[in-house]
Chains A and B, each alone.
Chain A
């Protein structure tokens, strides 16, 4: 009875306008830090603003920046496709390894807490620290990893990882996998631990083997978790900046010039902020489109199955 009274009092307060002040701080934060800057970026992308060139004071140029970006900017496109390749390869490897690791821990290891804590170490490091650590480890003259790679005959004495254009992107992907596979493991493990036992018991009684149970029961039940982890990793990988910037600066040549590094150069090296905002806007747009396609695909499949 008392609970009912409390509920109706709460409802009364909300109806009487208390909801607005309660929502205000969060709304303000969202507006100030997300919505406002986004609209400002969208507006800046339609100007010629430059901190370097005194003739470019921020005059409105419509869609000129986007036109130039789409038609003439070869570096933008090469960075774009490089970023897509980086996202697809690294997230796929992270997912496969992360899933396998989570399944092994869930299936065979009892003291999961200790192991998961240890697994989380690379993920807890700041990306800048990861970049600096690996830069030192792979340094061509005294890097520890370089030393052992040469000792094992994997790397020749006359080459170094970050000075060999063919090795740079695979190495960056390997480091990303090293850093973020534990994140995938953690999320998938949480999903596995929350799975209901009943469907598996029923399937066993019906004679379904482990593979059948994995494909027909475990994967469908884990689909929302998988979608979430792929989405988070995909977005994060698309924005990758710190590690690559510290390790290679986008080089040698344009071998590791991801879109975020290109955007940084346009904005903060050349101070071409109008055009730089257009590049950043495109990054945002691509992430948004990828997310929405991906999310809809998962959601559509789930609802189709429910029907």
Chain B
């Protein structure tokens, strides 16, 4: 029944979107300009909020051009990840309408949609006054990423601000050092090269773990923090595991987080602690990025939006020119990457929805996307990745490869609580409070209770 409803809704949404697109094509012929479209909103101020990271800083640098062309002022509030999320939740629930558009991680989407906090963008896309005929998200964006990051239950609610994936970072200078290659081959019996599977990944981590030289094989993000969950997902997916047995983030289904594959992935993940610096249970993404910038780690799994600060920014990194990037090693689950996007959304309480849409649409333009991407962003536009400037970035290929095989994660209203359960249990396992099976069984039990009848446990707990 659930699947039936889902498919009806999906069909209806596709038809609706098709109508919108057809309408868009008709009006394309007539001239459209941002200046004219924005004229009714001249003098307005639109405010947004997001995570204080290079992509948002890049947007802040671009905003004055939009302001100059439209007379609309753009105010951008930047906060640390959790703060940016909780401030939005409080604002949406108080219905104050402080933010005219918001930039949020897509795991929050279900909560916003089911509580009626955000507007679908179909209405804006269907408006001849607002829609730029050149803006064709159905052609210009990675469809998988757009639908994963900004759609819920078959309906678009926004556009990707960043399409974040995680991939393998490694020190290419170390891996190509003839001395290292010789020693490695003598010990492990095969050539030293970027890891293709998890056995190679562990061998490389072990080989380069030399605390006396202040060099470690890897660095796990083991702090009790969302970072731990995100990192672990790479291992989970790649080992063939998942949290729920579903095809889309907005679907509910059987809980499989305690499957044999998930247990194997989790045990493997912990085994890498031996090759990580001693403070590994206190690291989150900022810490491991700093370790890589200082050149004390040989390989790790990290976010694409942090790559710029390590591989390009000479003022911050000691390893510029010494880095290589590749998709995460493969396990039973094959080629896979976990995606986490931040998405533009327009709250129902926004006081300047149209002006906000115009800004978002303008930001999705090729030029703005290119600038943002080159300054630490992670665009969802394939044509930006294809540009010569982006191709020069050492992580361009790894980003594209990961985008192609990005896997959805739950965006249900309860997804934050699911994350919290898993973070706690994984952290307990890393701290030796329980075994991997106990931690994942407990997670499965709590997640199944949380989601209710739509999420029975596929691997029942005794």
Q: Which of B217-225, B325-333, B374-382 contacts A (4 or more CB under 8 A)?
A: B217-225
Q: Within A246-279, which residues are at the interface with B (CB < 8 Å)?
A: 248-255, 265, 268-272
Q: With contacts A265-B420, A271-B89 known, is A252 near B224, CB below 8 A?
A: yes
B417: contacting residue among A54, A249, A253, A272, CB under 8 A: A272
Name the residue on A nearest B224 (C-beta).
A251
A224 within 8 A of B: no
Say whether A271 contacts B222, CB under 8 Å.
Answer: no
A158: contacting residue among B115, B278, B427, CB under 8 A: B278
Say whether A54 contacts B115, CB under 8 Å.
Answer: yes
Q: Within A43-94, which residues are at the interface with B (CB < 8 Å)?
A: 51-54, 75
Shortest Cβ distance from residue A224 to the other chain B in the assembled complex, whole angstroms: 42
Interface size on B, residues (CB 8 A): 33
Note all chain A residues with C-beta closer than 8 A to B282.
139-140, 160, 162-163, 248, 252
Shortest Cβ distance from residue A121 to the other chain B in the assembled complex, whole angstroms: 26
Shortest Cβ distance from residue B307 to the other chain A in the assembled complex, whole angstroms: 21
Say whether B417 contacts A163, CB under 8 Å.
Answer: no
Shortest Cβ distance from residue B247 to the other chain A in the assembled complex, whole angstroms: 22
Name the residue on B nearest A251 (C-beta).
B224
Instruction: Give the docked Cα–Cα distance between A219 and B436 (Å).
Output: 53
A160: contacting residue among B279, B417, B420, CB under 8 A: B279
Shortest Cβ distance from residue B274 to the other chain A in the assembled complex, whole angstroms: 10
Shortest Cβ distance from residue B120 to the other chain A in the assembled complex, whole angstroms: 16
Note all chain B residues with C-beta closer than 8 A to A75.
424
Say whether B432 contacts A165, CB under 8 Å.
Answer: yes
- Residue in A249, A250, A252 whose Cβ sees the most chain B Cβ within 10 Å: A252
Instruction: Give the docked Cα–Cα distance between A252 and B284 (Å).
Output: 12
Instruction: Give the docked Cα–Cα distance between A23 and B93 (Å).
Output: 35
B280 within 8 A of A: yes
B414 within 8 A of A: yes
A15 within 8 A of B: no
Note all chain B residues with C-beta closer than 8 A to A139.
279, 282
B367 within 8 A of A: no
A141 within 8 A of B: yes
A159 within 8 A of B: yes
Q: Which residues of B contact A (CB under 8 A)?
A: 86, 89, 93, 111, 114-116, 211, 222-225, 277-282, 291, 296, 413-414, 416-417, 420, 424, 427-433
Q: Which residues of A contact B (CB under 8 A)?
A: 51-54, 75, 139-141, 157-160, 162-163, 165, 248-255, 265, 268-272
Q: 15 interchain pairs (CB within 8 A)?
A: A52-B111, A54-B114, A140-B277, A157-B211, A159-B278, A163-B222, A163-B278, A251-B281, A252-B430, A252-B431, A253-B424, A253-B431, A255-B433, A265-B420, A268-B86
